[in-house]
Structure 1
């Protein structure tokens, strides 16, 4: 059995993947920036590891063959941090990186953060690693949370469609791949839901389950930037928030993939199924 490490275990997805591996009898090394926090919430075999090429990080990857890499926290230097971490993996002798990327990531992605994911994928390939890229669409969880918290979704998404995916499906796929990483070497898998919806359609479905009317407000790009000024943020953050919707408007986030079924042997969870288990 390959020696496996999982990053970001104190975060949502990394934590889910590590727990699922444990349930499935797969031994993993848990990597976290904050070792004490990871141990406090119940993880064992924790190594301190950052997205850099420090001594700690190189040491945390020694003896590891397969690395599950969640993307780092969003920040303007994220691509460089990813590259440093990938360099550390190379120094430590990691051979296969399973990277949590983004659906339709490209150099010119409308969703600004999609460009970071593309640059990371390219760097992994350039450095000769075996790779598996899990290209997540936006999470259905995110849209449902907006409805719950604000009673509305607003943004310049027009009538574009998104095949949003449920986060727990993605963690199950990652854990399944870690059971037999060799089978998935040098593949790109698209993580989408089993259906695609406009924002209008999403709020209709969620309204039904929440028993109250939730509206979709189709803003212009200018209105979207203006309405988000209620949160103090940097320009790159405003750009990423607004481009979430402009990417949907341009149908960059549409299209349905069968890859979740290919890995799990079952269909991806639908929005309705997700709402039923909330």
Structure 2
């Protein structure tokens, strides 16, 4: 069985490869794909087959996908360019006769106002039209996304945002990667759409409490209006596009769009999902290494 993983040098894809190896998949049965050969080299040294690809160069995809029993299409990181990139990947998968595609999507992608959802929703439509068997993994937010927030809190004693009393049902990337490896290596997932999240949806007051514990200092959450949030981010030097994205995302959280906890991730990995405190502690340790 050949399992092909795109984005294998990125945060999630790399962890999926590690999870596959931990589950006993022979290294020779894994084909790890990425844009930079030097970042693929450590996997090649472990016996994993590797290939350099670029979603914007379809000619690099055909051979890389050939013979794949399962293809993990990790969503591209270039917001705004995902649809043409994903279209190229799906078309190449059809040409290569891939057995099935597993795609990392966004929560309730086809029925949500989440700012990140439209490109994922269109990709899901492209997958449905491809005729290939598919599995959709709708990953909630990654706990690691708040490491920067902790760094700011260490300096200021505050977490400032416009998410109000909204909740986030996050989990670490390693939990999502483990579930992805399960889906890639076990039967019965064709046609499934899995809403994946952490077991607990936490508030920003709870995030501040975790920050206090991890940092060894008092941290409070200071809720502000969207306008105040935008002004503060602009004053901190963020560009207009980033400011708009961050404020819109906090609005999505305030509206409850990342706050629905589902048991599906825990069911797939066979254990409770990693807590916010443990996930952030591990993420901070990794970022400092």
TM-score, length basis structure 2: 0.87
Aligned twin of 2:142: 139
Aligned twin of 1:15: 14
**Which stretch has the larger CA shift, 209-218 or 120-129?**
209-218
* Alpha-carbon distance between aligned partners in 1 of 2:160 and 2:120, rounded to the nearest angstrom: 25
**Which stretch has the larger CA shift, 220-229 or 96-105?**
220-229
Aligned twin of 1:193: 198
CA drift at 1:150: 4.2
For each residue in 1:70-117, what CA deviation from the matched residue of structure 2 results, as whole angstroms up to 9, or x when unmatched? 11113322222111211111111113111111112236523x222211
CA drift at 1:142: 1.7
Secondary structure, aligned partner of 1:68 = strand
Aligned twin of 1:207: 212
Aligned twin of 1:74: 78
For each residue in 1:235-264, what CA deviation from the matched residue of structure 2 results, as whole angstroms up to 9, or x when unmatched? 2x4332222211110011112111122212
1:157 matched to 2:174: no
* Alpha-carbon distance between aligned partners in 1 of 2:42 and 2:126, rounded to the nearest angstrom: 34
Aligned twin of 1:183: 188
For each residue in 1:120-151, what CA deviation from the matched residue of structure 2 results, as whole angstroms up to 9, or x when unmatched? 11211121221111111111222244113443
Q: Counterparts in 2 of 1:81-160, with a 5 A limit?
A: 81-106=85-110, 108-110=112-114, 112-151=115-154, 152-160=158-166
Matched-pair contact (CA < 8 Å) for 1:193–1:256: yes
- Over 3 Å counting, the alpha-carbon distance change for 1:231 and 1:15 in structure 2 is farther
* Alpha-carbon distance between aligned partners in 2 of 1:129 and 1:231, rounded to the nearest angstrom: 45
Matched-pair contact (CA < 8 Å) for 1:163–1:193: yes
* Alpha-carbon distance between aligned partners in 2 of 1:250 and 1:267, rounded to the nearest angstrom: 26
* Alpha-carbon distance between aligned partners in 2 of 1:74 and 1:227, rounded to the nearest angstrom: 25
CA drift at 1:232: 4.7
Runs of 5+ unmatched residues, structure 2: none
* Alpha-carbon distance between aligned partners in 2 of 1:57 and 1:174, rounded to the nearest angstrom: 21
- Over 3 Å counting, the alpha-carbon distance change for 1:234 and 1:36 in structure 2 is farther
Corresponding residue to 1:60 among 60, 64, 72: 64
For each residue in 1:3-53, what CA deviation from the matched residue of structure 2 results, as whole angstroms up to 9, or x when unmatched? 210011111110011122123221210111112321156563111112235
* Alpha-carbon distance between aligned partners in 1 of 2:208 and 2:124, rounded to the nearest angstrom: 33
* Alpha-carbon distance between aligned partners in 2 of 1:149 and 1:65, rounded to the nearest angstrom: 44
Secondary structure, aligned partner of 2:122 = helix
TM-score, length basis structure 1: 0.90
* Alpha-carbon distance between aligned partners in 2 of 1:245 and 1:221, rounded to the nearest angstrom: 8
Matched-pair contact (CA < 8 Å) for 1:69–1:99: yes
Matched-pair contact (CA < 8 Å) for 1:158–1:218: yes
- Over 3 Å counting, the alpha-carbon distance change for 1:81 and 1:233 in structure 2 is farther
* Alpha-carbon distance between aligned partners in 2 of 1:219 and 1:82, rounded to the nearest angstrom: 37
Equivalent pairs counted in the alignment come to 274
For each residue in 1:133-185, what CA deviation from the matched residue of structure 2 results, as whole angstroms up to 9, or x when unmatched? 111111122224411344343221011111111211001111122221x3211
Over the aligned positions, Cα root-mean-square deviation in angstroms equals 2.1
